[in-house]
Structure 1
Amino acid sequence: MTQFDDFHAHMPAMRAHAGTWEGVYTHINRDAEILDKHAVNVRCEFPSSGDYVYVQHNHFTWDDGREYRATLPGTYRDGRLWWDLETFSGSAWETKDGLILLNLDRKDDPGANFFEIIAMGSTGQQRSRTWHWFKDGALFKRTLCDEWKVSD
């Protein structure tokens, strides 16, 4: 069995995220005060061959004209989707109820990590992502991600 077959067999809920998503990310501090808010376009791909079973393309835009783009390829092993990139490393797995969970360590901010929960709505057209950020073990912010599917 290839990593692609194994990935599709063990992470079936992840496949529902294929396509392009648009949304808004809102970063808040522990007191729920807005720290940052920006738009996002996320494209989730599931290649059938090559080095990666998953590739995510992010394009963030701010009202002041700033932009940031990132490509996040992941491999599959030991029942999880793994990343080891310049800015972060960690893994994702899914629950029996179809939630996607992530645990990521920030390489670009030593001592920082975040836990992410991705929940898909019943129509498969909207999803919610929440990131819980810690620095040296202390919670310091959350990110609320509201996204809707714009294409398959």
Structure 2
Amino acid sequence: MKLIRWRMPVLARHAGEWRGVYSHVSADGELIDEHRSHLICLFPDEGEWDYHQTNRYSWADGREETHVFPARYAEGRIWWDTERIEGCAWEIDQRTVCLTWSRKDMPGEYLYEMIQISACNSKRGRTWHWFREDELYQRTLIKEERVG
């Protein structure tokens, strides 16, 4: 078993499959977009990645997207540097993981994310705060349940 499961026990509780809904709202609270999600969070025992996440999104109009986010563990955090994003995540208490990241296709923008997992490890809530030139312009509200 890799070191990450011991050093990041809260994150390790996220292993498995999650289904939920992403609601993107403006800074004023107006709904911009909403879609369903299916995430798979893995901690591979072998290979170069310490953490591997696959996000599948689907919209009511039939659109679908899949994104893969492998990460490495170092210095008490997991670090992403993929075609789509770069950033890191760390634990702050027994239920909370924080992230800061940016999308490579959106220069001048960055996000902060907070994830809370339930004590029973079956539900989680996530919020993203989107900043453009250091000004909040959007939030993403995510409610998920473990399905596997």
Q: Shorter-normalised TM-score: what interval?
A: over 0.9
2-structure distance, mates of 1:14, 1:116: 14
Match of 1:34 among 22, 31, 36: 31
What amino acid is aligned across from residue 77 of structure 1 in structure 2?
A
1:134 aligns with 2:138: no
TM-score in terms of structure 1 length: 0.94
Query: Deviation at 1:96?
Result: 3.1
What amino acid is aligned across from residue 109 of structure 2 in structure 1?
A
Q: Identify unmatched segments of 5+ residues in structure 2.
A: none
Query: Deviation at 1:56?
Result: 0.4
What amino acid is aligned across from residue 48 of structure 2 in structure 1?
D
1-structure distance, mates of 2:66, 2:94: 31
What amino acid is aligned across from residue 123 of structure 1 in structure 2?
C
Query: Deviation at 1:22?
Result: 0.3
Cα pair 2:25 2:140 within 8 Å, conserved: yes
Match of 2:17 among 1, 15, 20: 20
Query: Deviation at 1:106?
Result: 1.7
2-structure distance, mates of 1:78, 1:125: 28
Q: Identify unmatched segments of 5+ residues in structure 1.
A: none
TM-score in terms of structure 2 length: 0.97
What does 1:3-152 correspond to in 2, within 5 Å? 4-5=2-3, 7-151=4-148
Query: Deviation at 1:122?
Result: 1.9
Tell me which stretches of 4 or more aligned residues in structure 1 moved more than 6 Å.
Answer: none
Q: Percent identity?
A: 40
Please, what is the CA RMSD of the aligned residues? 1.1
Query: Deviation at 1:97?
Result: 2.7
Query: Deviation at 1:129?
Result: 0.5
